Amino acid sequence: MAKEKNIGITVKKSENFSEWFTQIVGPEGAELADVRYGVQGFIVHMPWGFKILRKIYTYLEEEFEKDDHEPFLFPTVIKKENLEREADHAGFAPDVFWVTKAGTKEMDEPVALRPTGETQIYPMYSLWLRTYTQLPYKRYQSRITTFRNEKTTRPFLRGREFMFMESHNMYANHEDVMKQIETDKIIMEKVIGEKLKIPHIFFKRPKWDAFLGADATYVADTLMPDGRRNQMSSTHDLGTNFSKAYNIQFIDKDEQKKYAYQSCFGPGIWRIMAALIGIHGDDQGLVLPFDVSPYQIVIVPIIFKDEEKNKKVMKKCNELKEKLSKKYSVFLDKSNNTSGWKFNQWEMKGVPIRIEVGPKDVEQFQVALKRRTSLEKIFVPDEKLMKTIEEESLNLGKDIDERAKKYFSDNTKEANTLDELKSLLEKHKGFVKVPFCSVERDGEEAAEILKTETQGAYVCGTPMDVNLKEQAEGKKCIITGKPAKHIVYVAKSW
Amino acid sequence: MAKEKNIGITVKKSENFSEWFTQIVGPEGAELADVRYGVQGFIVHMPWGFKILRKIYTYLEEEFEKDDHEPFLFPTVIKKENLEREADHAGFAPDVFWVTKAGTKEMDEPVALRPTGETQIYPMYSLWLRTYTQLPYKRYQSRITTFRNEKTTRPFLRGREFMFMESHNMYANHEDVMKQIETDKIIMEKVIGEKLKIPHIFFKRPKWDAFLGADATYVADTLMPDGRRNQMSSTHDLGTNFSKAYNIQFIDKDEQKKYAYQSCFGPGIWRIMAALIGIHGDDQGLVLPFDVSPYQIVIVPIIFKDEEKNKKVMKKCNELKEKLSKKYSVFLDKSNNTSGWKFNQWEMKGVPIRIEVGPKDVEQFQVALKRRTSLEKIFVPDEKLMKTIEEESLNLGKDIDERAKKYFSDNTKEANTLDELKSLLEKHKGFVKVPFCSVERDGEEAAEILKTETQGAYVCGTPMDVNLKEQAEGKKCIITGKPAKHIVYVAKSW
């Protein structure tokens, strides 16, 4: 009989992360995405991957709406004229895909596939905003894809089409912008930190690395197992740059017309997925936190040749499925595959809890249970099952959390000279904290030298609300030798 | 003080449906969509409209998943070669938008913005399907937009970009195709008929009007108030046409390689929205069924100049909001607008139940309640409020349902000659049932004559599971005079 598919990862994560990642993502791994679509950088999201991504979207949407953001949806294309109206932002143009033909005819005016939302949304904000009573004005669009003509592409890390969501807010003053950025940080902590258990730092990026047209950019960076930073979200303090370019004004309390202050926040759904796969996964496959897994529990019947016994096994499995489904998302694997193949498959897919039921378990009023992060199977009496699942789901969370936090702190080091930095980056990769002269424009040249000297490491910035200035006191910039104003984080980047 | 916006519809639905529809959709109506985006046929979905559309999606997704469809997501673009591989289907090409440039460079191979999913999905099915144990194989993608270069465009009725969802299934035989089409029909009944209360007929389209590349096409048609049919979904029996073009085969039980049978089902989310707006709406605005409205209840505080009394009113409103929010989706309108303006706005938006609280209501332990479909306000003692809301939500459903069903049957007539048909179409528009020679290829010529004679009416087909053959017995085709094989429905079309 033809098999539905072969599964298995043939390399170790610690030895070849890049190949491990490719295999786990693909159709013979956890079936998250298929890159064989035939257009570079445009991939197919397969059901298991799509359902995880949908959960990430749902959790973030819930937080956005609790914070009074209303959902809307803009077109996939943008007018050329609007795309280029903000001078700095026009820098996106070289990366944009253009729709130039309709049927066999050239279009009068080509339109761009959306590379990001500002330039499509703000012309409408100019029509919609009238008075201060509408402020703060919070809107977001979700479950959209955006497009950039990237040279190299990788599922979930860099695509020509990738999953996105973005809020675009307006305020009467700059204090409200800063309050929102604090809230965006908390949203990342709640969803990405607590639910998905992905450790990260909320940085203020150096001035030279801010978003095109923004006054300042804040990001949530995590580390991939190859030691490169993965930027999972960005929040931009746009000041009044865009409201001036797009003429977004409101009548204030004092009857004066004023330009709106703006911020926008974009969790990179793909990037979050890449972190989830890369950081928690192991050599058997994905490892999914309990709240993120499409199935939380999978039931595998252990079938032998005895028809009578098999009936009893299936009866118990069906009853279990019904009972557990009231509280959990449960899958009963009735397929014709062997038990061993099923075990491998569901471990590959990262399902948190596996329950096995064989003829012996029926006789002894028990089940066998294995949590994804444990090496051991345990036998659980039927009457204790609900309680054990509860406990094991918490144990799983603890395992994942501890492992991820240890990994994150093990890969964050310190250096006080360029030589130390270079040797650290060579050995362990990851974040290195170093004294640095400046994160304003006057530090850009030093950052360029750092990048060249380290073969591509970036100054990631300073953590938003941890004051590292005191730690920098008395230290010297590892590049210029000038007194260091900050301790910055340095890492290579995705 | 500048107002956030002006609201109001200036025409009657019965007198000028087209203008009524434009006004109710727009930013000064119910704020469903804004057409001022600047690219023809590409519109902005505003929060109120988007939230209704999201509910429609959610209900359909739930039914798809109950019926064992797994979700996935394909790219927005399609390879040219794949788009044109099925010969009939290549007929889409004149309506397609092409991406030809990346940055400033021409692309080696242009890609099309997806006009529908078959040609993007089936090349992957050819890679994914291996064995009969995978059948039936049911997948769908949702919350996507698709693109066609339509000449004239109208929000929710015809767009160059429009909201879509689609299932694409594979089976071992044709019986399973027909079973799925029955299920698709039931899904439309449950969601579109029962929840959204939109009357419709599930037709088998005449052979000449089937989807490009399909053996047969089944559709859910409703009627818009201008008498034109609105096709809200289509289900295609693709036979093995596409599996042969895209080489989709499986190893059957008998170890033989066979081509898969296929069906696909696309509820037109936009078209369903257009029906919801057009059929239920009235001269005050939208009328939303209870399950579809983003807010089910809106609370309006009636404020006077007495500070002390206002405090008590707001206290009661806040308590009500908290209590009702446990069961319903509730909005408390604290804005500075006048009560009258608020009443108009929430009627315009179609909110099912409005609760008013004034100082007198506080004193008398009551609230005033108005259901969207009733002309009268009623006063409800506090202790009876929960029960009354329950009852009024049912009354609302009944009102909407009865009105829509009456409208649908009033606009379905019968004719036995071409002259009768012409005069009926002129007077009442809507559906007309007529005897007709054939819905197979040999009837196409007669259908063309009918269309010319009636200035654009279509043969919609025969209802899928109502046998109208008996009714046709002894009657003659209104065009050819030959013995009629069927009673068909005729209507002008959107």
Domains annotated for chain B, with CATH where assigned, are 17-280 (3.30.930.10), 297-394 (3.40.50.800), 412-493 (3.30.110.30)
How many Å apart are CA A47 and CA A116, to the nearest integer? 26
Are A76 and B161 a contacting pair at CB < 8 A?
yes
CA-based nearest distance B11→chain A, Å: 24
pLDDT value of position A1: 43
CA-based nearest distance B207→chain A, Å: 26
Residue A137 sits at φ, ψ, to 5 deg, of -115, 110
Determine the length of chain B.
494
**Whole-number Cα distances in Å, B231 to A220, A241, A362, B223, B234:** 46, 46, 54, 9, 8
Q: Are B319 and B325 in contact (CB under 8 A)?
A: no
Are B36 and A100 a contacting pair at CB < 8 A?
no
What element of type H or E holds B393?
helix B385-410
Are A101 and B98 a contacting pair at CB < 8 A?
yes
Least confident among A79-88, A275-284, B49-58, B251-260: A79-88
pLDDT value of position B1: 43
Confidence of residue B168 (pLDDT cuts 50, 70, 90): very high
Are B5 and A130 a contacting pair at CB < 8 A?
yes
Which residues of B are less than 8 Å from A71 in CB distance?
47, 50-51, 54
Are B4 and A251 a contacting pair at CB < 8 A?
no
pLDDT value of position B382: 97
Return the half-sphere exposure (C-beta side, CA atoms, 13 A cut-off) of residue B450: 30
Chain A contact for B6 (CB, 8 A cutoff): no
Residue A486 sits at φ, ψ, to 5 deg, of -140, 160
Longest CA pairwise span in chain B (Å): 85
Are A95 and B73 a contacting pair at CB < 8 A?
no
The burial of B93, by beta-carbon neighbours within 10 Å (0-12 exposed, 13-18 middle, 19 or more buried), is given as: middle
How many Å apart are CA A24 and CA A377, to the nearest integer? 24
Residues 72-91 in A contacting B (C-alpha not used; CB under 8 Å): 72-77, 79, 82
Q: Are B394 and B354 in contact (CB under 8 A)?
A: no
Which residues of A are less than 8 Å from B73 in CB distance?
44-45, 50
Chain A contact for B96 (CB, 8 A cutoff): yes
Which residues of B are less than 8 Å from A3 in CB distance?
130-131
C-alpha dihedral over A36, A38, A40, A44, to 10 degrees? -50
* Mutate: best of B97, B121, B249, partner A, most A CBs <10 A: B97
pLDDT value of position A90: 72
How many Å apart are CA B400 and CA B346, to the nearest integer? 17
How many Å apart are CA A330 and CA A297, to the nearest integer? 5
Q: Strand, coil or helix: what is A463?
A: strand
Q: Are A72 and B50 in contact (CB under 8 A)?
A: yes
* Mutate: best of A128, A149, A331, A341, partner B, most B CBs <10 A: A128
Which residues of A are less than 8 Å from B1 in CB distance?
131, 133, 251
pLDDT of residue B2 exceeding 70, the answer is: no
Nearest CB to B95 within list A1, A36, A103 = A103
Determine the average pLDDT of the residues in B133-143: 97
Chain A contact for B325 (CB, 8 A cutoff): no
How many Å apart are CA A242 and CA A262, to the nearest integer? 8
Angle between helices A47-66 and A174-188 (to 10 degrees): 140
Are A72 and B104 a contacting pair at CB < 8 A?
no
Residue of A274, A267, A273 whose CA lies nearest to A187: A267
Are B79 and A38 a contacting pair at CB < 8 A?
yes
Q: Strand, coil or helix: what is B448?
A: helix
CA-based nearest distance B102→chain A, Å: 4
Q: Which residue of B has its CA nearest to A95?
A: B103
Which residues of B are less than 8 Å from A147 in CB distance?
76
DSSP state of A484: P
Which residues of B are less than 8 Å from A76 in CB distance?
42, 76, 113, 145, 147, 161
The burial of A175, by beta-carbon neighbours within 10 Å (0-12 exposed, 13-18 middle, 19 or more buried), is given as: exposed
Residues 375-394 in B contacting A (C-alpha not used; CB under 8 Å): none
Residue of B441, B433, B445, B439 whose CA lies nearest to B480: B445
pLDDT of residue B4 exceeding 70, the answer is: no
Long-range contacts of B1-4 (CB under 8 A, 24+ apart): B1/A131, B1/A133, B1/A251, B2/A130, B2/A131, B2/A251, B3/A130, B3/A131, B4/A130, B4/A131, B4/A133, B4/A134, B4/B337
Chain B contact for A33 (CB, 8 A cutoff): no
CB pairs under 8 A between A and B: 171
Beta-bridge mates of residue A144:
A164
Which residue type is seen at B93?
A
Any idea what the Cα angle at residue A95 is, between residues A89 and A99, rounded to 5°? 105
Confidence of residue B35 (pLDDT cuts 50, 70, 90): very high
Which residues of A are less than 8 Å from B147 in CB distance?
76
CA-based nearest distance A56→chain B, Å: 15
Q: Are B333 and B300 in contact (CB under 8 A)?
A: yes
Q: Which residue of B has its CA nearest to A124?
A: B37
Residue of B388, B386, B384, B382 whose CA lies nearest to B366: B382
CA-based nearest distance A407→chain B, Å: 32
Confidence of residue B91 (pLDDT cuts 50, 70, 90): confident
More confident residue, A493 or B465: A493
Residue B490 sits at φ, ψ, to 5 deg, of -120, 140
Q: Which residue of A has its CA nearest to B109?
A: A39
> Mean of the per-residue pLDDT values for chain B?
95
Asked if the bond preceding A359 is cis, omega within 30° of 0, the reply is no
How many Å apart are CA B62 and CA B326, to the nearest integer? 22
Residue of A85, A156, A145 whose CA lies nearest to A116: A145
- Over the stretch B188-215, which tens digit does the pLDDT of each residue have? 999 999 999 999 999 999 999 999 899 9
What element of type H or E holds B229?
strand B228-239
Are B47 and A71 a contacting pair at CB < 8 A?
yes
pLDDT value of position B69: 98
From the CB of residue A419, how many other CB atoms can be counted at a distance below 10 Å?
A: 11
Nearest CB to A39 within list B4, B79, B103 = B79
Say whether the ipTM exceeds 0.85: yes
Are B76 and A72 a contacting pair at CB < 8 A?
no
CA-based nearest distance B196→chain A, Å: 21
Are B5 and A127 a contacting pair at CB < 8 A?
no
Any idea what the Cα angle at residue A281 is, between residues A275 and A285, rounded to 5°? 135
Residues 406-445 in A contacting B (C-alpha not used; CB under 8 Å): none
pLDDT of residue B183 exceeding 60, the answer is: yes
The burial of A218, by beta-carbon neighbours within 10 Å (0-12 exposed, 13-18 middle, 19 or more buried), is given as: buried
Q: Which residue of B has its CA nearest to A82?
A: B38
Which residue type is seen at A289?
P
Q: Strand, coil or helix: what is A38?
A: coil
Q: Computed from CA positions of residues B239, B244, B250, B254, in that sequence, does the dihedral angle turn out positive or negative?
A: positive
CA-based nearest distance B70→chain A, Å: 6
Chain A contact for B143 (CB, 8 A cutoff): yes
Chain A contact for B139 (CB, 8 A cutoff): yes
* Mutate: best of B5, B69, B76, partner A, most A CBs <10 A: B76
Q: Which two tokens stand for residue B390?
A: 């329950």
In sequence order, what DSSP letters do the residues of B295-320 get, joined into one string?
A: -SEEEEE---S-HHHHHHHHHHHHHH
Residues 41-70 in A contacting B (C-alpha not used; CB under 8 Å): 42-47, 50-51, 54, 70
**Whole-number Cα distances in Å, B148 to A62, A102, B96, B101, B160:** 33, 9, 6, 19, 5
pLDDT of residue B93 exceeding 80, the answer is: no
Residue B275 sits at φ, ψ, to 5 deg, of -65, -40
Are A131 and B2 a contacting pair at CB < 8 A?
yes
Give, for all 494 residues of chain A, the pLDDT tens digit: 445 666 789 999 999 999 999 999 999 999 999 999 999 999 999 999 999 999 999 999 999 999 999 999 999 999 999 998 877 777 777 789 999 999 989 999 999 999 999 999 999 999 999 999 999 999 999 999 999 999 999 999 999 999 999 999 999 999 999 999 999 999 999 999 999 999 999 999 999 999 989 999 999 999 999 999 999 999 999 999 999 999 999 999 999 999 999 999 999 999 999 999 999 999 999 999 999 999 999 999 999 888 999 999 999 999 999 999 999 999 999 998 999 999 999 999 999 999 999 999 999 999 999 999 998 999 999 999 999 999 999 999 999 999 999 999 999 999 999 999 999 998 878 999 999 999 999 999 999 999 999 999 999 999 997 766 778 889 999 999 999 999 999 999 98
Which residue type is seen at B319?
E
Instruction: Report, in this order, helix, strand and coil percent for chain B, each rounded to 5.
Output: 40, 30, 35
How many Å apart are CA B452 and CA B442, to the nearest integer? 17
pLDDT value of position A84: 86
Are A39 and B75 a contacting pair at CB < 8 A?
yes
Q: Computed from CA positions of residues B373, B379, B381, B382, in that sequence, does the dihedral angle turn out positive or negative?
A: positive
How many Å apart are CA B254 and CA B62, to the nearest integer? 36
CA-based nearest distance A267→chain B, Å: 19
Q: Which residue of B has its CA nearest to A103?
A: B94
From the CB of residue B467, how many other CB atoms can be counted at a distance below 10 Å?
A: 11
Chain A contact for B251 (CB, 8 A cutoff): yes
Are B130 and A38 a contacting pair at CB < 8 A?
no
How many Å apart are CA A350 and CA A286, to the nearest integer? 4
Please indicate, yes or no, whether the overall pTM of this predicted structure exceeds 0.95.
yes
Beta-bridge mates of residue B193:
none
Are B127 and A34 a contacting pair at CB < 8 A?
yes
Determine the length of chain A.
494
Which residues of A are less than 8 Å from B43 in CB distance?
75
